[in-house]
Amino acid sequence: MRRIKTAVVGLNRGGILAKHILNFAHSLELVAVCDIDRAKADKFAAENKIPAVYYSLDELLKTDVEAVVLATPIPDHANHVIAALGAGKHVLSEVTCATTMEDCLRIAEAVKTAKGKYMMEENYCYYRPLTIVQNMIKVGLLGDIYYGESDYLMDFQLRSGFPEQLQPWRKDVYFGRRGHPYITHTLGPLCFTMGSDIKTVTCMAAGRTYPELAADNTCVLMLQTKDGGMIRLRNSFVSSRPDLYTYYSVQGTKGCYQGPQGPTDFHKIHIRGLCKPNEWRNVYDFRGFLPKEWDIFPEGYFDDTKDNGTEKYDIGAPLLLEAFANCIINNTEPPVSAARALNWTAAGLLSEASVNGGGIPVEVPDFGL
């Protein structure tokens, strides 16, 4: 079996991805890790028996590694992606693509001439209950899908040193502007499930607990999809409430999926003909629709009866890593392609122009991919 020689760059989030590769994603062979923090890189490599360690992306890119997983801070993604594609590597970039529209365009140009593949690590697209819904949609059980919604509500106020001691890049990306640039975890899985990307974005925002931060407390984005559907997102990093970051709902002409909104809730689905009127059933009643790709986990690894949506947000990442390997091995379009990833990222970036214009619709450009 062909395995793709892979390196992981940036070992915080990247450390988790590296362990997913070692434990589950066997079509990738983890041959190297890289971090500018030498102590962190050495420790990770020693503890996980990684054959090679690098302290600079440039040095790593001179090697015969075939693919790089970039888990560096978001403002660096564009430069790192462009360097890696330019060196002939395949790239799996963490979310989001970039922090400016200019950098989105630069990535698009690099992808157009690259030999290697570009895919974004939007792990929530492979969120286990959503993968059941995606397969049910494929066989028409929910009818035509015309609406989706998602919430991503977190409370950074509970983290020590907030907001002064936030990492500078995170403070800048999450709180340095109005609108909401970090929406791929909400928008991406909906577009992935509904099968369409974004034409226009509108955004309204409210709440000013921290006048020293540019960001409002909460944003609501209304997005029109290219096929005429619509999506509603609420995103916030400062909501005084329990976290909620895996809530999704999709509505079709024949049925609806609605995820849990708290620990006593469950993954609900209603399908005309399979459910009584007004009846929600548990999405795991339809586990026969789980993609076979979940078989990379050992039997009994998941206890779906306990899934109330309050944890396990990252469980689909190994499937995404395998999908990345497979698009290289089979020379196919990456499932979370540059075209889709840039569309979702740009919709978030352009929400700033919408909110500053009083909620005006802003067109998401075509990146020509």
Q: Which stretch binds ligand NAD (CB under 6 A): 3-11, 109-117, 244-252, 326-334?
A: 3-11
- Report d(CA 357, CA 150) in Å as an integer: 23
What ranges in the chain are assigned the alpha helix state H? 13-23, 38-48, 57-61, 77-86, 101-113, 128-138, 168-175, 184-194, 317-329, 338-356
100 near ligand NAD, judged by CB under 6 A:
no
What's the closest the beta carbon of residue 277 comes to ligand NAD, in angstroms? Answer: 38
Nearer to ligand NAD, 158 or 206 (CB): 158
| Cα–Cα distance, 191 to 355 (Å, whole number) | 22
Cα end-to-end distance, the chain, whole Å:
31
Phi, psi of 181 (to 5 degrees): -80, -10
CB of 83 or CB of 141, closer to ligand NAD: 83
Beta carbons of 94 and 70 less than 8 angstroms apart: yes
Query: With binding defined as CB under 6 A, does residue 9 bind ligand NAD?
Result: yes
Looking at 5-13, 107-115, 234-242, 269-277, which segment touches ligand NAD (CB under 6 A)? 5-13
Instruction: Say whether residue 187 binds ligand NAD (CB under 6 A).
Output: no
User: Which region, left, alpha or beta, applies to residue 101 given φ > 0 means left and ψ of -120 to 50 means alpha?
Assistant: alpha
C-beta closer to ligand NAD: residue 78 or 339: 78
Contact map string, positions 260 to 299, toward ligand NAD, x by CB under 6 A: ----------------------------------------
Residue 121 binds to ligand NAD (criterion: CB under 6 A): yes
Provide the token pair at 342. Answer: 């840039």
Binding-residue total with ligand NAD (CB under 6 A): 22
Asked if residue 94 binds ligand NAD (CB under 6 A), the reply is yes
Site for ligand NAD in 307-336 (CB under 6 A): 314
Binding span for ligand NAD by CB under 6 A among 20-28, 30-38, 193-201, 261-269: 30-38
| Binding status of residue 97 toward ligand NAD by CB under 6 A | no
Q: In angstroms, give the least distance from the CB of 156 to ligand NAD.
A: 13
Task: Work out which of 7, 11, 110, 336 binds ligand NAD, going by CB under 6 A.
Answer: 11
SS3 assignment, position 193: helix
- Quickly tell me which residue has 């740009």 as its tokens: 346
Quick one: 95 or 339, whose CB is closer to ligand NAD? Answer: 95
- For residue 354, what are the CA distances in angstroms to 111, 222, 249, 285, 357? 28, 10, 24, 41, 5
Which of 167, 209, 253, 332 is in the footprint of ligand NAD by CB under 6 A? Answer: 167
Q: Phi/psi of residue 201, each to 5°?
A: -125, 140
Helix then strand count (H, E) for the chain reads 10, 15
User: Quick one: tokens of 63?
Assistant: 């090697």
Q: Nearest distance from residue 138's CB to ligand NAD, in Å?
A: 25
Options 72-80, 111-119, 252-260, 340-348: segment touching ligand NAD (CB under 6 A): 72-80
Beta carbons within 8 Å of 139's beta carbon, 6+ residues apart: none
- Our measurement of the distance from residue 138's CA atom to the centroid of its chain's CA atoms, rounded to an integer in Å, reads 21
Question: Rule CB under 6 A: is residue 57 a binding residue for ligand NAD?
Answer: yes
CB 35, min distance to ligand NAD, A:
4
Binding piece for ligand NAD, criterion CB under 6 A, among 11-19, 82-90, 342-350, 360-368 = 11-19
Whole-number Å distance between alpha carbons of 282 and 20: 28
181 counts as binding ligand NAD under rule CB under 6 A: no
13 binds ligand NAD (CB under 6 A): yes
Closest to ligand NAD by CB, 37 or 227? 37
Pick the closer one to ligand NAD by CB: 106 or 272: 106
| Nearest one of 86, 74, 65 to 21, comparing CA atoms | 65
Interacting residues with ligand NAD (CB under 6 A): 9-13, 34-37, 40, 57, 71-74, 76, 94-95, 121, 123, 167, 314
